[in-house]
Chains A and B, each alone.
Chain A
Amino acid sequence: MADADKYIRIERLDKTYASPRGPVKALEGISLDIAQHEFVSVLGPSGCGKSTLLKCLAALEGITGGSISIGGVTVAGPPDNMGIVFQRDVLLDWRTILDNVLVTAEFRNLSRAQYEPRAMQLLKLFGLEEFARRFPWELSGGMRQRASICRALLVDPELLLMDEPFGALDAMTRDELNLELQRMWTENRKTVLFITHSITEAVYLSDRVVVMSRNPGRIAEIISVDLPRPRALSVRETPEFGRYTAHIRELFTVMGVLKDS
């Protein structure tokens, strides 16, 4: 692989937690390279350490073995060029939507005034411009999560980490946001690491799907999704799509995660 294909290099990553009942192995021997502009999903059952993997990459958790580098630089602290979206939108109740989006600039000691046009532009892109001066509690769950994506994109990071961002949303809102995320990604081609437990969502959005097994968290298989882009939601009903999801479901059945009689 050329170096451009190894924007993110995760090598033999181990993560062990200390717990009152002794050490717990969350991740073991994770090796994964992610190319620039690639959309990679990490898919796995709950407790497989997929969120831990994301937190290690963001340096929000320390690692106990192996190494992680981004753009050739070993990760020691939170990378500069990164935005995060969590499952919960964690919008600050006391700030308007616009102020919530701008908070990532404030955290980074960047000028608010300079980023305000960009914030408005992002809100417009996600259909929230009318709600810029509203408070989070006046918005629906889907709108709140859109705002939190805008917040992550404010400083135009190269890398976007998404930790089950649509896990708490209803199925229809989830579909809408899948479409919007794909559109956004097609336009600006961020490098995305997307954590999910939805097989359909992972296949639909990704260039590659990393399937993980649990106890301890290991990579079971990495699957390249060769479906043409842009993908309409209806791609999910095609036989090609079905082959990917069936294969992944098969993997989970073998792991004993799914008990399909």
Chain B
Amino acid sequence: MSAWWDRSERMRSVLVVLAVMLAVWEVLCWALAIRPFILPAPSAVIKDFLSAPAYFMKHSGYTLLITFVGFIVAVIGGIACAVGIVYSKFLDRVLSAMLVSLNAVPKVALAPLFVIWLGTGTEPKIAISIMIAIFPIVIDTVLGLKSVDPEMINLAKSCRASSFKILLKIRFPNALPSIFAGMKVAISFALVGAIVGEFVAGSIGLGHIILLSQGNFDTPRVFVALMLLALLGTILFYMVDVAESLLLPWHVSQRSVHGDVPVVQGGL
């Protein structure tokens, strides 16, 4: 009960800060008579959203779908890569070299290539999303799989446990907190990937709305898309957060909400 209260208190304070920010923004727009195509007031943004909610929902849904699929594939693929890296010297060399060199290239710059390879449909967007989101998963999962007390492994070996059993019963559960840390970064990255994909090609999604509205100098509409993206990103992040606290009640970070450290979200 008190844990829930503390958690909701943090949520409440975030909402209060947001409300104050919006209010200041609104007042400044009126007071300084800023033209809407430079910076629309929040009320104008909301009005624009209400003028065509179904339209925005459709595009949000599309971006959400891309993000979600990209994220899920990145999680599964990233964990698989990490297991390969930890268990095979050969895969460690090959995959690590590939990942490091690929990671060195700003992945946004590769987006046009995916359009050439995969067309202008959903596939290139998912591919970009996966490519951006997979790195934090691989890096954090490798760290988690490797950070096992050697004495724990000795215990398992003394019982002649197979290496598959050691993976399943020790390494993987031990890595879960790291995997979730990676997933929290990855879910935001997957959204970045989806928007980048929509910027490069296609005619659907919030990224597309932003480009289209920018061309028409329809700044309020750009802001509607931005706010929906912020909302989407927040909801996705907290989905991972809630999944973590449900799945890892045993972990140090989950035992007391007072122990919560604000998570720094990365960006590209």
Our verdict on whether A and B bind, yes or no, reads yes
A interface vs B, CB < 8 Å? 55, 58, 60, 77-78, 80, 82-84, 86, 88, 90, 92-94, 103-104, 106-108, 135, 137
Q: Which residues of A contact B152 (CB under 8 A)?
A: 90, 92
> What is the bound-complex CA distance between A205 and B19, given in angstroms?
69
| Whole-angstrom distance between the Cβ of B180 and the nearest chain A Cβ | 13
In contact, B154 and A84 (Cβ under 8 angstroms):
yes
| Whole-angstrom distance between the Cβ of A40 and the nearest chain B Cβ | 19
Closest 6 pairs (CB-CB, A-B): A107-B159, A107-B161, A94-B250, A90-B152, A84-B158, A90-B151
Q: Which residues of B contact A137 (CB under 8 A)?
A: 250, 252, 255
- Which residue of chain B is the closest to A106 with respect to CB atoms? B169
In contact, B156 and A88 (Cβ under 8 angstroms):
no
4 new A-B contacts, CB < 8 A, other than A60-B158, A106-B165, A135-B250, are: A58-B154, A107-B156, A107-B169, A137-B250
| Whole-angstrom distance between the Cβ of A84 and the nearest chain B Cβ | 5
- Which residue of chain B is the closest to A135 with respect to CB atoms? B250
> What is the bound-complex CA distance between A77 and B158, given in angstroms?
9
Q: Which residues of B contact A83 (CB under 8 A)?
A: 158
Residues 136 to 185 of chain B near chain A (Cβ within 8 Å) = 149, 151-152, 154-161, 165, 169-170, 173-174, 176
- Which residue of chain B is the closest to A105 with respect to CB atoms? B159
> What is the bound-complex CA distance between A137 and B259, given in angstroms?
15
In contact, B149 and A90 (Cβ under 8 angstroms):
yes
Residues 226 to 268 of chain B near chain A (Cβ within 8 Å) = 248, 250-252, 255
> What is the bound-complex CA distance between A129 and B131, given in angstroms?
50
How would you classify the secondary structure of chain A's contact residues: helix, strand, loop or mixed? loop
> What is the bound-complex CA distance between A88 and B158, given in angstroms?
15
Q: Which residues of B contact A55 (CB under 8 A)?
A: 154
Q: Which residues of A contact B165 (CB under 8 A)?
A: 106-107
**Of A86, A92, A93, A104, the contact of B159 (CB 8 Å cutoff):** A104
* Given A60-B154, A90-B155, A94-B173: A107 touches B160 (CB 8 Å cut-off): yes
In contact, B248 and A94 (Cβ under 8 angstroms):
yes
In contact, A86 and B169 (Cβ under 8 angstroms):
no
In contact, A108 and B151 (Cβ under 8 angstroms):
no
| Whole-angstrom distance between the Cβ of A107 and the nearest chain B Cβ | 4
> What is the bound-complex CA distance between A104 and B165, given in angstroms?
11
> What is the bound-complex CA distance between A60 and B150, given in angstroms?
11
A-B contact pairs, 10 of them (CB 8 A): A78-B157, A84-B154, A86-B154, A90-B155, A92-B170, A93-B250, A104-B155, A106-B169, A107-B161, A108-B159
In contact, A84 and B160 (Cβ under 8 angstroms):
no
**Of B160, B174, B251, the contact of A108 (CB 8 Å cutoff):** B160
> What is the bound-complex CA distance between A84 and B250, given in angstroms?
25
* Given A78-B160, A107-B159, A108-B161: A93 touches B169 (CB 8 Å cut-off): no
| Whole-angstrom distance between the Cβ of A154 and the nearest chain B Cβ | 10
| Whole-angstrom distance between the Cβ of B156 and the nearest chain A Cβ | 5
Q: Which residues of A contact B176 (CB under 8 A)?
A: 94
Residues 107 to 152 of chain B near chain A (Cβ within 8 Å) = 149, 151-152
* Given A90-B151, A92-B152, A107-B165: A77 touches B170 (CB 8 Å cut-off): no
In contact, A78 and B250 (Cβ under 8 angstroms):
no
> What is the bound-complex CA distance between A77 and B160, given in angstroms?
8
Chain B window 170-209, contacts with chain A (Cβ cutoff 8 Å), 1 for yes, 0 for no: 1001101000000000000000000000000000000000
> What is the bound-complex CA distance between A27 and B170, given in angstroms?
31
> What is the bound-complex CA distance between A118 and B173, given in angstroms?
26
Q: Which residues of B contact A84 (CB under 8 A)?
A: 154-155, 158
| Whole-angstrom distance between the Cβ of A50 and the nearest chain B Cβ | 16
In contact, B169 and A103 (Cβ under 8 angstroms):
yes
Q: Which residues of A contact B170 (CB under 8 A)?
A: 92
| Whole-angstrom distance between the Cβ of A199 and the nearest chain B Cβ | 25
Q: Which residues of A contact B158 (CB under 8 A)?
A: 58, 60, 78, 82-84
- Which residue of chain B is the closest to A88 with respect to CB atoms? B151
- Which residue of chain B is the closest to A84 with respect to CB atoms? B158
Q: Which residues of A contact B159 (CB under 8 A)?
A: 78, 104, 107-108
> What is the bound-complex CA distance between A94 and B159, given in angstroms?
20
> What is the bound-complex CA distance between A79 and B250, given in angstroms?
33
| Whole-angstrom distance between the Cβ of A165 and the nearest chain B Cβ | 12
**Of A78, A93, A104, the contact of B251 (CB 8 Å cutoff):** A93
> What is the bound-complex CA distance between A135 and B174, given in angstroms?
15
